[in-house]
Amino acid sequence: MNKTFVIIGSSAGGIAAARALARLAPKSSIVMISREKELPYNKCFIADYIAKDEQEQLFMTNNRALPENVQLLLGLSVVAINDQQQHVSLDNGQIINYDALLVATGARPQKMPLLHSDNQRHENLFYYHNLWHANLLKAFIAQNKPKRAIVIGGSISAVEAADALHQQGVAVTIVNRGKQLLSRYCSSQAITLLYERMEQLGVQVIHNAQISDFTHKDNHITRVTLDNGQQIETDLVMCAIGVNANSELLQSTNVELSDDLVNVNNHLQTTVPTIFAAGDVILVHDRVSGYKKRSCTWPDAMHQGLIAAHNMAGKEKVYEGAVFLVDSHFFGFDFVACGIRDKKIGIITKKGDNWLHEFQCNNDNQLLFFVMLGNIENLPQIKRSYLTRAQFDVA
C-alpha cells in the first residue's frame, strides 16, 4: 500500500529526508511544508550571501534540487498536529493526513525583549538566521548605505554577521555580555589571534556589557546605552544571541520534550511511533562523549533526515549520534571546533604564523576536543583520530 509522508520544514533535515523517501518509496506521496516562501536553500552560506551576494551556492538548484515526486508547499504554516488521527492542519484550512510525519522545524533566533519594549518595529533591527532576515538586511543596506553597525552576541553567528557587515563596508562594533568571543570553543590565547585581526580591520569588541537602553527616531534605533554607561551611535543593529527550538506544535501532542527539545530514539523516532524528528529541534547525544545537547549543525541534520527517512519507510537504520563539529570562515580565518571542551582539562597548543591549534586529550592520549584557527590542512587526519579514538600525537 502506498503511504503518505509529511515533512514539516525545508532545511537540512527536511531536504535530506525528502530526497531519501523519494528513492526508498517512489510510489508514495511525499509532502514537504515550509513557512518560508523561498525554495530550499543552504543556511551555511547566509554570511556569504550577505557579504558577496553569492546566490548560486545558496539555493538547492540543478542536480541538488528536490525530486519531482516531492510536493513542496511554500509559504504555509502547520498550525496543529493531531497525533491520534494522524493529520496536520495548515493555516489555509487544509488538512493533510499522514502515515509517518517528520518534524524538521529547526529553530528561531532569540529576541532581545528590551529592543521590542516600545512595541514598535525598528526598521534597522535585524536578526542573523535565515534568508528572509538576510534579504531584509541587504535591502536596508542598499537603500540606506549604513556606516555604523552594532552586532550583539559572542557566538560564531555573531562573528560571521560582523564579518559580513564589515565586508559591506560598515564599521562594526560587537557588544558581548561575556568576557570573550567564542568562549565555548577557544581559550583566551586562541581568541587573541582573532582579536588582533579584527583590530587591524577596525572592528571593535566590547566585552562584559549589555544594552540597557536605546534611543530611536523615525522607527530607527540611533543610539544604544550599555550597562557600563557607554553610549554608541549606530545606523544598524544586528542581534545574534542564540536560538530557540521550534517545538511548539508538539506541546499539544504525546511527543516527549526536554525543555524545548524533542526526545528521539536511535531511529530518530519520538515517543509517538508515527512521528519522527531531525535537526535543530531535537536533543542528541555526542557520538564520542555521550553527552546530550541540542543538535546544531547542517551535516548532522542532513544525516538525521536520511536516517529518519529510512525508518519512516520501514527500512531500519540506526542513528549513532552526532559529531559536534562546527566550521566557519570569518575575517580571513578558517575555523573548526570539534568535541566538547572541558575547562578542567589542560590545553595543548600549537601555533605558527596566523594560525593556532588547541587540543584536549584524556589520560590515554585520546583526543577529546580540538579547535583550529587559520590553518586546517590536517583536519581530515585529526578528525579521523578523534572519531576512531586512536592515540593522538600532537607533534
pLDDT at 54 over 90: no
* Residues 34-47: tens digit of each pLDDT: 999 988 888 888 88
pLDDT confidence bin for 58, thresholds 50/70/90: low
Q: How many domains does the chain have?
A: 3
Whether 128 is covered by a domain: the verdict is yes
pLDDT confidence bin for 63, thresholds 50/70/90: very low
User: DSSP H helical segments within the chain, as ranges?
Assistant: 12-24, 46-52, 131-144, 156-167, 188-200, 298-312, 379-388
pLDDT at 69 over 90: no
CA angle 350, 353, 356 (to 5 degrees): 35
* Residues 274-289: tens digit of each pLDDT: 999 999 999 999 988 8
Whether 41 is covered by a domain: the verdict is yes
What is the span of the domain harbouring residue 375?
A: 341-388
Q: Could you tell me the CATH number of the domain that includes residue 118? A: 3.50.50.60
Measured CA to CA, the distance from residue 321 to residue 300 in angstroms comes to 9
pLDDT at 118 over 70: no
104 and 132 inside one domain: no
89 and 176 inside one domain: no
176 and 285 inside one domain: no
117 and 235 inside one domain: yes
Scored b (16 or more CB within 10 A) or e, 286-301 reads: eebeeeeebbbbbebb
207 and 231 inside one domain: yes
79 and 136 inside one domain: no
133 and 218 inside one domain: yes
Measured CA to CA, the distance from residue 269 to residue 274 in angstroms comes to 8
pLDDT confidence bin for 341, thresholds 50/70/90: confident
**Mean pLDDT to the nearest integer, 235-247:** 96
pLDDT, residue 322, reads 92
pLDDT, residue 243, reads 94
pLDDT at 55 over 50: yes
* Residues 134-156: tens digit of each pLDDT: 999 999 999 999 999 999 999 99
Question: Which of 222, 239, 256 delimits the end of a domain?
Answer: 239
